[in-house]
Amino acid sequence: MRVIVIGGTGHIGTYLVPELVLAGHEVVVLSRGRREPYRSSGAWRRVEVLTVDREAEEAAGTFGRRVRELQADVVIDLICFTEASARQLAEALDGQVRHLLHCGTIWVHGPSASVPTREDAPRAPFGEYGIAKAAIERYLLTRDGVPATVIHPGHISGPGWTPVNPAGNLDLGVFEKLANGNELALPDLGLETVQHVHAADVAGLFLAAMANRSVAVGEAFHAVANGAMTLRGYAEGVARWFGREPDLTFLPWDEWRATVSARDAEITWDHIAHSPHCSMEKAARLLGFHPRYTALEATLEAITWLVDNGKVSVSEPAAG
């Protein structure tokens, strides 16, 4: 099939695009042209990459028409963040494509009330991102004319970028403390959760939804590792991978946030207020898909890249 991937050089596209090529599809990637894929692959030589400023073209009302004129069988949208953006694309593709796949987020749930949270659980999204993604999902899965599937990733991880750390933010110093046996303070009791997923597994779920179109259309699926990690368990796993015994201390939230920057505290609060723990049962049952990586494995692969590229300093060679 002819497949258009919007935003195909980012986290997910790095793994998804080469797999689409290897599966025999004709692939066109629309990208701003500001980033190379995180992993090299000879498959990219067979990909047509078009430089597109989506925001500018949407403002001009031309983006949906541009995608339609590419005459795709399948469109995979990895960088849509508002309902208005989704509407412009879907209206242009009405009756023109076999399958539209949209990348959402597990943030559509808000905080987990019952775990593991299923896709059909009652929703209580909060924050601009989660609310907007929930609105996109409702729109795409209830409109006629464009057969759609929504994939909701957790905290995407993999080589080439910084994963959410055991303190719930992106401070590389957290990994350095664990790697070097230094004390790390966590908020409250460290029992809030994060749920990572390797970018390769997110790509795999998109492929599974394409391959099982008859049961995927009209549905949403989580894309997470099986099982969430508590902040404490995550910190212990990373420390021991480095051959260290974890040296953890726990502070009430108001005390803990005073020990980090305002931005790090904001990011941590967003993660622990959600504390996701989502189910992968639906993807297994309908699509036969099972994640390859555990949550800790996904993060350790990213941490290995950070160490190897000098972004995390370790006093002794890593034991892992």
pLDDT in tens, 207-266: 999 999 999 999 999 999 999 999 999 999 999 999 999 999 999 999 999 999 999 999
- Are residues 110 and 278 in contact, defined by beta-carbon separation less than 8 angstroms? no
- Residue 106: what pLDDT? 98
CATH classification for the domain delimited by 160-195+227-276+295-308, as one of 3.40.50, 3.90.25, 3.20.19, 1.10.10? 3.90.25
DSSP 160: T
The residue ranges of every structural domain in the chain are 2-156+197-223, 160-195+227-276+295-308
SS3 157: strand
SS3 185: strand
pLDDT in tens, 116-167: 999 999 999 999 999 999 999 999 999 999 999 999 999 999 999 999 999 9
Q: How many CA atoms lie within 13 A of 123 on its CB side?
A: 18
Cβ neighbours around 64 below 10 Å, total: 19
DSSP H/E element including 132: helix 128-142
pLDDT in tens, 252-291: 999 999 999 999 999 999 999 999 999 999 999 999 999 9
Question: What topology does CATH give the domain 2-156+197-223?
Answer: Rossmann fold (3.40.50)
User: Does the pLDDT value for residue 107 go beyond 70?
Assistant: yes
DSSP 146: S
User: Does the pLDDT value for residue 316 go beyond 80?
Assistant: no
Euclidean distance between CA atoms 25 and 209, whole angstroms: 15
